[in-house]
């Protein structure tokens, strides 16, 4: 049986698509990019994404072309992508940032018209639908991350259309996997348990501060150090995961490890709890969407497809950086802040800059990604900290379905 096929079968039943198991979503995305894009191809993507994904695209020997985004959810704004850019891209990669869906129907229409593949990064979006159809079923291939969905610290899938493509990708994956080690498997199994213990014992704040002081976090700020000269020197070796390893492995060193049954067994158990988890997420989204800080995009979403079970709820706040610091006092560690946008982080040497990065800059500087599983704690902490709602200075059209009354907390 192919590696991870039991987990893949569970995902196939959920999604209705053929799935390849991978130890991470980043490896799943790399597989898709390698399978469908020739080296040198240009990939349209949002500048508001994990830096790791930028490095995955570079490792596949591709050129990231940064798109304009919506100021309300940080995803690609297809209508603002210039015609000249559409004519010059070879693929599109969505983000579904925090679980808020991309304009996937419109993007697919563009891709079909141009005859280019659409890749869905569904790492944040297992609980999101568009027109009743799950994210991850619109594009040529879609990557999912169990680290995000079930806090597994490992695991992912690449969803594709047919069994023949799946088998082909399984072989490509097997070539990229590194051998299993019991020590890595134990660490991968124990880390999520240690994390829930820290939460249960209210140790989040001291543990986080200690890691910070000891320099054990892989990022000093919201983004990792680019090490531009070293990165530039790798270009000649791409496509190669090995060349880009120091960047691609950040936060998940086992991203290409052939984990054994200990890790996969734990992931199977966690996947069995996924629907319960999504229900809890939806309840947290419901609470946070009724606060003054919720992005109006959330209300528009709720109007169309009901409340999504988001990975994080995009709240828009003034003085976001100071708030992130102060929230640690309330045992809330805010991750997944992608600031600055990739235009400013990587520059023209590594990416093609978007025509107007102002919406991306504004969103990146004001979004507070709130874990819906901690909705009560976060809403209480923001109230105590007197957080104020951020409004873009350049008026942007508010999504249609802004609710008539927005409650404060």
Residues that bind ligand PLP (CB under 6 A): 24-26, 49-50, 52-53, 95, 121, 123-124, 145, 147, 156, 252, 255
Phi, psi of 317, deg, nearest 5? -130, 150
Residue 140 or residue 290: which is nearer to ligand PLP going by CB?
Answer: 140
DSSP secondary structure string, 224-266?
----HHHHHHHGGG-S-TTTTHHHHTTT-TTTTB---HHHHHH
Q: How far is the CB of 250 from ligand PLP (least distance, A)?
A: 9
Query: Which residue in 345, 373, 349 sits closest to 361, CA to CA?
Result: 345
Contact 55, 104 (CB under 8 A): no
Q: How far is the CB of 302 from ligand PLP (least distance, A)?
A: 22
Q: How far is the CB of 249 from ligand PLP (least distance, A)?
A: 9
Residue 26 or residue 129: which is nearer to ligand PLP going by CB?
Answer: 26
Residue 148 or residue 361: which is nearer to ligand PLP going by CB?
Answer: 148
Q: How far is the CB of 178 from ligand PLP (least distance, A)?
A: 15
Nearest-angstrom CA–CA distance, 119 and 45: 10
Residue 26 or residue 270: which is nearer to ligand PLP going by CB?
Answer: 26
Q: How far is the CB of 190 from ligand PLP (least distance, A)?
A: 18
Q: How far is the CB of 98 from ligand PLP (least distance, A)?
A: 9
Name residues whose C-beta falls within 8 Å of residue 113's C-beta, 6 or more positions apart in sequence: none
Helices (H) and strands (E) in the chain, counts: 18, 11
Residue 57 or residue 252: which is nearer to ligand PLP going by CB?
Answer: 252
357: left (phi over 0), alpha (psi -120 to 50) or beta: alpha
Nearest-angstrom CA–CA distance, 334 and 157: 25
Nearest-angstrom CA–CA distance, 270 and 171: 26
Residue 30 or residue 350: which is nearer to ligand PLP going by CB?
Answer: 30
Q: How far is the CB of 77 from ligand PLP (least distance, A)?
A: 17
Query: Which residue in 367, 373, 363, 375 sits closest to 288, CA to CA?
Result: 375
Residue 219 or residue 384: which is nearer to ligand PLP going by CB?
Answer: 219
Structure tokens, 120: 């869905």
Name residues whose C-beta falls within 8 Å of residue 310's C-beta, 6 or more positions apart in sequence: 98, 99, 100, 124, 127, 128, 281, 285, 372
């Amino acid at each position: 049986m192919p590696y991870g096929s039991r987990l893949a079968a569970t995902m196939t039943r959920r999604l209705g698509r053929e799935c390849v198991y991978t130890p991470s979503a980043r490896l799943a995305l790399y597989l898709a990019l390698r399978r469908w894009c020739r080296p040198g191809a240009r990939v349209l993507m949002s500048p508001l994404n994990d830096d790791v994904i930028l490095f995955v695209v570079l490792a596949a020997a591709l050129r990231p072309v940064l798109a304009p985004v919506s100021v309300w959810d940080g995803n690609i704004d297809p209508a603002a992508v210039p015609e000249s850019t559409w004519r010059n891209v070879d693929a599109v990669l969505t983000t579904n940032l925090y679980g808020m869906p991309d304009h996937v129907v419109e993007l697919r229409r563009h891709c079909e018209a141009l005859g280019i593949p659409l890749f869905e990064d569904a790492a944040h979006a297992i609980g999101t639908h568009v027109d009743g159809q799950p994210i991850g079923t619109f594009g040529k291939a879609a990557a999912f991350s169990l680290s995000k969905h079930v806090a597994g610290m490992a695991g992912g899938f690449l969803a594709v259309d047919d069994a023949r493509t799946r088998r082909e990708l399984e072989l490509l994956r097997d070539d990229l996997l590194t051998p299993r080690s019991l020590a890595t498997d134990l660490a991968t199994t124990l880390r999520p348990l240690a994390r829930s213990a820290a939460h249960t014992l209210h140790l989040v704040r001291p543990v986080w501060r200690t890691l910070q002081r000891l320099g054990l976090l892989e990022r000093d700020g919201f983004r990792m150090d680019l090490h531009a000269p070293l990165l530039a020197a790798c270009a000649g070796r791409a496509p190669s995961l090995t060349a880009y390893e120091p960047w691609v492995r950040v936060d998940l060193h086992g991203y290409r490890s052939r984990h054994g049954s200990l890790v996969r067994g734990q992931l199977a158990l966690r996947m069995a709890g996924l629907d319960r988890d999504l229900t809890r997420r939806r309840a947290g989204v419901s609470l946070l969407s009724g606060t003054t800080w919720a992005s109006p995009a959330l209300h528009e979403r709720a109007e169309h497809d009901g409340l999504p079970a988001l990975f994080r709820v995009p709240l828009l706040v003034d003085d976001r950086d100071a708030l992130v610091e102060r929230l640690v006092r309330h045992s809330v560690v805010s991750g997944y802040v992608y600031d600055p946008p990739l235009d400013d982080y990587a520059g023209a040497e590594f990416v093609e800059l978007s025509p107007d990065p102002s919406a991306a800059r504004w969103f990146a500087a004001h979004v507070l990604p709130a874990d819906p599983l901690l909705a009560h704690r976060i809403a209480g902490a923001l109230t105590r900290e007197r957080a104020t709602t951020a409004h873009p200075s350049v008026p942007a059209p508010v999504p249609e379905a802004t609710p008539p009354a927005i409650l404060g907390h």
